[in-house]
Amino acid sequence: MEQNNDGSLAQVRHVVLVLSGKGGVGKSTITTELALALRHAGKKVGILDVDLCGPSIPRMLSVGHTDVHQCDSGWVPVYTDAQKSLALMSIGFLLEDPDEAVVWRGPKKTALIGQFVSDVAWGELDVLLVDTPPGTSDEHLAVLENLKKHRVDGAVLVTTPQAVSTGDVRREITFCKKTGVRILGIIENMSGFVCPHCSECSNIFSKGGGEELAKLTGSVFLGSVPLDPQLSSSIEEGKDFIQSFPDSATFSAISSISQTLLNSLQMT
C-alpha cells in the first residue's frame, strides 16, 4: 500500500478493519492479540477503537485511566509501552466515568468517528487495526466514509465455530463486497478449549465452521484460536499474553495468524 498523502494517516502504511457479524465472538480480544503479536514481530502498531458502546481495549492493554492530550497535529494517542511501538485511541479515554453508557444518536457517533480518523496524530505506523462494533451499522459506514481518501487494505472477519455465528459473518462478507472492502481473511475464535492442566484441546461448541465458511465464500482462512484460560486471565489483568506464554499452543496460533496477515499486507 502506498503511504497516504495527508492528514493524521499520512505515515500509516496499512489500515485493517476488524469486523464481526455479531457481538460476543472475541473481536476486541483478537484485535488486541494481533496488535501485540505484530509489535513483537518488530512492527509499529496502532489500534483505533471505534466500538463506541463497548470500548474494552483500554482495559485489555492496562491503560484504562489515561488522559488524552492534544498537540498541533491533533489528539495524541495513548502509548502502551515506553518504546511507543503500540498506540491506542478509544472513546474509553474520553469518558469521565468508565461505567458511563454512551447513549448517542447516529450523527454524534458519526462525528466522533470522523474526529478519530482525521484528528489523531498517529505518526509513523506499520499497521493500524480498526476495532469496529459488531454488525453492519452507521459506525461502519462512517469509518469507511472517513477512510475513503486513505486506502483501506481490507478487513479481517472474526467468527466462532457455531452456525449461528458463521451465518452472521456471511452478512458481513456481503457488506464488504457491497462497500468494496477486500477480505483479508477469516479467524475462527473460541475454537476448542485448552485445558489448563494437561493442555488438551476439547471442542466445546463445534469446530471448523470458520474454515468451512472461508472455503464456501472463497476467502482466506487465517487460522483458529482456542478458548484458553491463560489468554482470558491475561486479557482480564491487562497483561501481554504473547510475552507471558510463548510456549502455548494459543501463542503459536496467534503468531501464525499475524504473520500470514503481515505477508498478505506486504503484497498489497
123 is in an annotated binding site: no
C-alpha cell at 159: 467468527
53 is in an annotated binding site: no
201 is in an annotated binding site: no
180 is in an annotated binding site: no
106 is in an annotated binding site: no
27 is in an annotated binding site: yes
192 is in an annotated binding site: no
Beta-strand runs (E) in the chain: 12-20, 45-49, 69-71, 74-76, 78-79, 86-90, 125-131, 154-159, 183-194, 201-202, 221-227
Q: Report the alpha-carbon distance of residue 234 to residue 53 in Å, rounded.
A: 23
Cell 502502551 belongs to which residue? 80
21 is in an annotated binding site: yes
- In 3D space, the residue among 15, 247, 27 whose CA is nearest the CA of residue 132 turns out to be 27
22 is in an annotated binding site: yes
Positive or negative torsion for Cα 259, 261, 264, 268: negative
71 is in an annotated binding site: no
Alpha helices in 218-248 (DSSP H): 229-237, 241-244
Residue ranges of the binding site: 21-28, 195, 198
Residue ranges of the binding site for [4Fe-4S] cluster: 195, 198
Residue ranges of the binding site for ATP: 21-28
